[in-house]
Amino acid sequence: MKTGTTPWWLPGVCLVLTGWCANQYVSLINWYQQFRGLSEFEAMLVMGSYLAGMIPALAFGGPLADRFGRKPFSLIALASSILGSLVMAAGTLNVAGLYAGRIFTGFGMGLAMVAITSWVKLLSPGPAGATRAALCTSLGFAVGPIVSGIIVGISAHPEIAYAVHAVTAIAWLVFLAVASEEPKIHVPGGKILGGETTLENRRRFYWVVLPSAPWVFGMAATGFAVVPALSDGAGGSNLFYSTVAVAVTMGMGTIIQPFVRRFNDVRKVSLLMAGLSTALVALLLMVAVSLTGSEILGVLAFIVAGSANGILLVAGLSQVLDLAGSADVGKLTGRFYMVCFIGFTFPTLFALWRLIAHPALFIGILAVLCLASMAMVYRARRHLSEVKLEEVSS
Please answer whether residues 138 and 79 qualify as being in contact, where contact means their C-beta atoms are separated by less than 8 angstroms. no
Choose between 336 and 183: higher pLDDT.
Answer: 336
- Helix-helix angle 51-68:70-89, to 10 degrees: 160
Mean pLDDT (the chain) is: 86
3-state secondary structure of 309: helix
Q: Please, what's the b/e burial string for 107-137 (b: 16 or more CB within 10 A of its CB; e: otherwise)?
A: bbbbbbbbbbbbbbbbbbeebebbbbbbbbb
Bridge partners (DSSP) of residue 191 are 187
> Measured between alpha carbons, how far is 51 from 62 in angstroms, rounded to an integer?
16
pLDDT digits (tens, 9 = 90+) for 93-139: 788 999 999 999 999 999 998 888 888 888 887 778 878 888 999 89
Q: Which residues contact 225 (CB under 8 A, 6 or more apart)?
A: 26, 29, 44, 47, 245, 346, 347, 350
Q: What is the pLDDT of residue 233?
A: 53
Q: Which residues contact 359 (CB under 8 A, 6 or more apart)?
A: 226, 229, 230, 290, 350, 353
Establish if 1 belongs to a structural domain. no
Closest listed residue to residue 325, CA positions, set 98, 118, 142: 118
DSSP designation for 264: -
Q: Which of 42-51, 76-85, 117-126, 363-372 has the lowest mean pLDDT?
A: 117-126
> Measured between alpha carbons, how far is 105 from 113 in angstroms, rounded to an integer?
12
pLDDT score of 6 more than 80:
no
Q: Which residues contact 26 (CB under 8 A, 6 or more apart)?
A: 47, 144, 145, 224, 225, 246
Report the DSSP pairing between strands 191-192 and 186-187. Answer: antiparallel
Q: Please, what's the b/e burial string for 348-363 (b: 16 or more CB within 10 A of its CB; e: otherwise)?
A: bebbebbeeeebeebb
Run of H or E including 164:
helix 158-177
Phi/psi-derived region of residue 238, left when phi > 0, alpha when psi is between -120 and 50, beta in every other case: beta
* DSSP assignment of 86-118: HHHHGGGT-THHHHHHHHHHHHHHHHIIIIIHH
pLDDT digits (tens, 9 = 90+) for 259-269: 888 888 888 89
pLDDT score of 195 more than 60:
no
Q: Say if pTM beats, i.e. exceeds, 0.85.
A: no
pLDDT score of 4 more than 60:
no
Establish if 321 belongs to a structural domain. yes
Q: State which residues form the domain around 48.
A: 9-393
HEC states along 334-388?
A: HHHHHHHHHHHHHHHHHHHHCCCCCHHHHHHHHHHHHHHHHHHHHHCCHHHHHHH
Q: What is the CATH number of the domain that holds 128?
A: 1.20.1250.20
Main-chain dihedrals φ then ψ at residue 213, nearest 5 degrees: -60, -40
Establish if 39 belongs to a structural domain. yes
Q: What is the pLDDT of residue 62?
A: 80
Half-sphere exposure of 48 (CA within 13 A, CB side): 22
Establish if 21 belongs to a structural domain. yes
> Measured between alpha carbons, how far is 28 from 147 in angstroms, rounded to an integer?
11
pLDDT score of 325 more than 80:
no
Give the other-Cβ count within 10 Å of 206's Cβ: 14
Q: Which residues contact 279 (CB under 8 A, 6 or more apart)?
A: 215, 218, 219, 305, 308, 312, 370
Q: What is the pLDDT of residue 93?
A: 78
Q: How many domains does the chain have?
A: 1
Q: Please, what's the b/e burial string for 69-94 (b: 16 or more CB within 10 A of its CB; e: otherwise)?
A: bbbebbbbbbbbbbbbbbbbbebeee
Q: What is the pLDDT of residue 387?
A: 53
Q: What is the pLDDT of residue 238?
A: 75
pLDDT score of 160 more than 60:
yes
Q: What is the mean pLDDT of residues 335-351?
A: 91
Establish if 4 belongs to a structural domain. no
